Amino acid sequence: MLDPLVTMADYSTKRITRSLIEEVSRALKSIDAYGSVEIYVQNSTVTQITVRNIKKTNGFGIKKGFQKQ
């Protein structure tokens, strides 16, 4: 059980707060070159923000002018 003095952040989708915007902003900034941010909502409340960083392996990110031999 939570301590009564501890308050949870208000992440309502009905009334978007600055703290929710800052949390989403931090998630976006944590992505390196490629990735995604997923926002999970239950009962009009953001319950989870998931960040995925993706490493491209199909040639994206290889500098132009570089050719395989």
Chain length of the chain: 69
Give the whole-angstrom CA distance, residue 41 versus residue 33. Answer: 26
Distances (CA, A) of 61 to 16, 29, 50, 55, 58: 36, 19, 24, 10, 9
Q: Quote the tokens at residue 27.
A: 């998630």
pLDDT digits (tens, 9 = 90+) for 21-58: 999 999 999 999 999 999 999 999 999 999 999 998 87
Reported as a pLDDT band with limits 50, 70 and 90, residue 2 is low
